[in-house]
Amino acid sequence: MNQEEILAVLSHSEAEAKSLREIAQTMGLETSSYASWIQAERGLSSTLRKLIKWGLVACAIRQNVNGHRFWYNIYWKNEIRASEQSVTEEIVVRQS
């Protein structure tokens, strides 16, 4: 699992943003058992935190309206200005 794979499944708008579970399902990660879901969730969370820090991904908190009312994060691609993009790409290359 790398940054490019995650960015490929994220939408460009907050209206179409995805939760961690939706991102994992879109990427085809194994989430059938609790242990496999925890492993996938930890990997995705770690990478998404880095992408948020670098400004490539935006995040918001939503509350589930169906069933249990729990809070969860949604993620989507952040719009980056051309001047910031070259600096961000350099950071990503150095971190990889």
* Residues 23-49 pLDDT 10s: 999 999 888 899 999 999 999 999 999
What is the mean predicted confidence (pLDDT) over 1-9? 86
What are the CA-CA distances from residue 32 to residues 10, 16, 21, 25, 49 (Å)? 22, 24, 11, 10, 24
Find the helix or strand (DSSP H, E) in which 32 lies: none
Find the helix or strand (DSSP H, E) in which 31 lies: none
Q: What is the chain's mean pLDDT, rounded?
A: 84
Percentage of the chain beyond pLDDT 90 is 43
Q: What CATH number should be reported for the domain whose range is 3-95?
A: 1.10.10
Percent composition of the chain: helix, strand, coil (DSSP 3-state, to 5): 55, 15, 30
Q: What residues does each domain of the chain span?
A: 3-95
What predicted TM-score, i.e. pTM, was given to this entire model? 0.74
Q: What is the pLDDT of residue 91?
A: 59
Q: What is the pLDDT of residue 67?
A: 79
